[in-house]
Structure formats: C-alpha cells, structure tokens
C-alpha cells in the first residue's frame, strides 16, 4: 500500500484525482478504453470535484460503475447515491462518458445485482475510487465483511455504526429514515481492480484508518484487506492520519 498524507482535504482531493487521472489516461492509451468504479459520500467531495475537471481525459472512452446504493429510497431522494453521482460528477464532466452503470434498487435489487454483475465480470477495472467508513467498511461491506463471496454485487444489511454515519453526514434527518439494506459491490470485486484510489479525510475516520493499517488483515476491519492489494493508494489528511503514530 502507498500511503499519502496531505495537509488538508483539498490537497488530498487534488493529489488523489491526479494519480487516478493518470491511470485512466494510461488505460485509454494502452487499451482504447478505461473502466472505473466511483464511490460516494462526504469523503469523495474534493476528489470527485477535481476529477470532473480533467479535460485531458477522453471521457467518451470511459465506462463507469457505481459502488453501492441504498435499498428503499428513490433516485429523487437527497441521499440517493445515483443522484449524488449525477449532480457531483457525471453532469459536471467536460464531455459525456461512454457509459455509466447506475445501481437501480427501486424494482428488483437482486435482479439488478445479477445484471450489473454480469457486465462488470466481463471487464477489467482499471481504477476504483473508494473510501473507508467510520466502521472501516469498504463500499457497504460492514464488519464482519465477507472476503470470500465471489458475486460482484450483493445485498447487505447496514449496521448501526454505518447508519449513524449516514445520519451524521447529514443525508437523513432521523435514524429511522436511514435504510437498513443496500446493494454493495463485494470486497472481492473491489480487490480485482488494477489500481485503487482510496480517499479518507477527516478526524472522524482516524480510528478506522488506524485499525485498518494495524495487522492482522481481518473482516472485523474490512478496509484492512486493502493492505493485500498490489497497487492501492491511500490518501489521508492530517486529521485522518492523526492516530497512526499512537
């Protein structure tokens, strides 16, 4: 794992975006296309803002995949990750992407897992842009995460720590409004990505960062699996890295 500690979340977003953009351009140069995964949440604001401004990327040759989505809320809901990605990234690009595979959880989530799973299984993912949750989850794989399941997309139950994080970030007004289930990309599928760009700012993530970087690799701290990836870049700011020397 390559660990980058930046001064603040703005610098983190700039540096994470730059390395991710170079990987996208390299994939297009070598293969004629690039396949990426995009996460959501407050931790991705700065990185996605910078990446959306990349005019040197031929976005018409880029295919995107959605990391996770709640079950039980429509795309019009302010907390919808589909709405988030459209507003904060896809609609902000200088030119349209070749394709983006949103997770539609409004009709038949299990059928949606199978459909998008078949598409992503036929491709090599060049770059996955992800984060780490306050409970050390990756995507919505809350602890103890399943490191062995082979399906690319799965239906998961959200634990209390995860749901409280969504409330704390301001996506919902009350804890009762936070969905209890979601469709999530599996840990196995995330780890298949050639490069992982993991952006984790803010002091509230410091404990999860410390636990994820302290051996052993364990499902109890799902992000610890990233230590086994050959090309994972973990971007921290001063606050999220504050416990690493303690």
pTM for this model (two decimals): 0.96
Map tokens 């984060």 to a residue: 131
pLDDT digits (tens, 9 = 90+) for 204-242: 999 999 999 999 999 999 999 999 999 999 999 999 999
Q: What is the pLDDT of residue 41?
A: 92
Confidence of residue 191 (pLDDT cuts 50, 70, 90): very high
Confidence of residue 246 (pLDDT cuts 50, 70, 90): low
Q: What is the pLDDT of residue 86?
A: 97
pLDDT digits (tens, 9 = 90+) for 167-178: 999 999 999 999
> What is the percentage of the chain residues whose pLDDT exceeds 70?
100
Structure tokens at 119: 């598409």
Confidence of residue 245 (pLDDT cuts 50, 70, 90): confident
CA atoms within 13 A on the CB side of 122: 6
Map tokens 């090309």 to a residue: 231
pLDDT averaged over every residue in the chain = 96
Map tokens 């293969």 to a residue: 31
pLDDT digits (tens, 9 = 90+) for 215-225: 999 999 999 99
The fold of 2-237 is Rossmann fold (3.40.50)
**String of DSSP letters for 41-105:** SGGGHHHHHHHTT-SSS-GGGEEEEE-EEESS--TTSTT-HHHHHHHHTGGGSSS--SEEE----
3-class DSSP state for residue 13? helix
CA atoms within 13 A on the CB side of 205: 28
Structure tokens at 77: 């809901």
Report residue 36: phi and psi, to 5°.
-130, 160
């Amino acid at each position: 794992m390559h660990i980058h500690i930046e001064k603040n979340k703005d610098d983190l977003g700039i540096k994470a975006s730059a390395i991710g953009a170079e990987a996208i351009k390299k994939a297009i140069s070598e293969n004629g296309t690039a396949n990426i995964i995009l996460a959501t949440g407050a931790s991705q604001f700065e990185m996605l803002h910078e990446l959306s401004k990349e005019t040197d990327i031929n976005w018409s040759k880029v295919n995107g995949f959605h990391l996770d989505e709640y079950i039980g809320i429509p795309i019009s809901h302010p907390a919808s990750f589909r709405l988030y990605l459209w507003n904060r990234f896809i609609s902000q690009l200088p030119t349209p992407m070749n394709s983006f595979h949103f997770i539609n959880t409004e009709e038949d989530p299990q059928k949606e897992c199978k459909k998008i799973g078949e598409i992503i299984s036929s491709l090599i993912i060049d770059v996955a842009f992800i984060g780490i949750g306050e409970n050390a989850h990756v995507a919505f794989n809350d602890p103890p995460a399943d490191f062995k399941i082979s399906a690319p997309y799965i239906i998961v139950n959200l634990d209390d720590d995860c749901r409280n994080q969504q409330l704390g970030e301001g996506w919902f007004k009350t804890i009762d409004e936070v969905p209890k289930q979601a469709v999530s990309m599996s840990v196995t599928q995330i780890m298949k990505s050639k490069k992982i760009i993991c952006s984790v700012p803010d002091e509230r993530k410091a404990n999860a960062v410390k636990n994820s970087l302290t051996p052993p690799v364990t499902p109890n701290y799902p992000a610890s699996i990233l230590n086994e990836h050959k090309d994972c870049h973990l971007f921290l700011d001063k606050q999220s890295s504050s416990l690493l020397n303690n």
